[in-house]
């Protein structure tokens, strides 16, 4: 049970890194174009200051990809630091599941069915990991 829990925890960590890397690649290959920039060349007021929609969108998109990579790496570091006989941390699984719930919500409301499917698979795997961890402790 402990080994399976670690494998599932690691799998979701690696998948998070992979998705973050894919998002960052898509950001530079597909989202940074003159056409998109021309569509977003407007300013809005954010926290009392004028801001370019293009710059805001670029910053948020880039940060999303990079932060997914960092979250995945953090979970791998946590997993790597565990003793051989230890289970993945319950708190880490809960945080990962919360992130996947937000991915599910965003896919359902703003993106595509791929985010919904990916989040659902991740939630199932992380739920199994959590159950194995709680039962094993």
Give pLDDT, residue 137. Answer: 79
pLDDT tens readout for residues 70-127: 999 999 999 999 999 999 999 999 999 999 999 999 999 998 888 899 999 999 999 9
- Can you read off the two tokens belonging to residue 46? 């954010």
Q: How confident is the model at residue 8 (pLDDT cuts 50, 70, 90)?
A: very high
Contact 135, 1 (CB under 8 A): yes
Across 47-59, average pLDDT: 93
pLDDT of residue 88: 96
| Phi, then psi, of 117 in degrees rounded to 5 | -65, -50
Rounded CA Rg of the chain:
18
Q: Do residues 2 and 129 lie in contact, with contact meaning Cβ atoms separated by under 8 Å?
A: no
Instruction: Provide the domain count of the chain.
Output: 1
Structure confidence at residue 69 as a pLDDT band (50, 70, 90): very high
Secondary structure letter of residue 51 according to DSSP: E
Task: Tell me the residue range of the domain where 77 lies.
Answer: 2-136
- pLDDT tens digits, residue range 13-42? 999 999 999 999 988 888 888 899 999 999
């Amino acid at each position: 049970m402990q080994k399976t829990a670690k494998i599932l925890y690691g799998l979701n960590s690696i998948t998070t890194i992979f998705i973050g890397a894919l998002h960052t690649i898509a950001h530079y290959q597909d989202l940074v174009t003159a056409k998109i920039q021309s569509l977003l060349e407007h300013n809005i007021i954010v926290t009392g200051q004028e801001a370019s929609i293009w710059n805001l969108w670029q910053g948020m998109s880039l940060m999303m990809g990079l932060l997914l990579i960092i979250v995945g790496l953090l979970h791998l570091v946590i997993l790597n630091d565990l003793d051989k006989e230890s289970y993945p941390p319950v708190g880490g699984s809960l945080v990962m599941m919360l992130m996947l719930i937000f991915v599910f919500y965003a896919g359902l409301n703003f993106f595509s069915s791929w985010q919904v499917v990916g989040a659902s698979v991740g939630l199932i795997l992380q739920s199994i990991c959590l159950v194995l961890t709680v039962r094993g402790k």
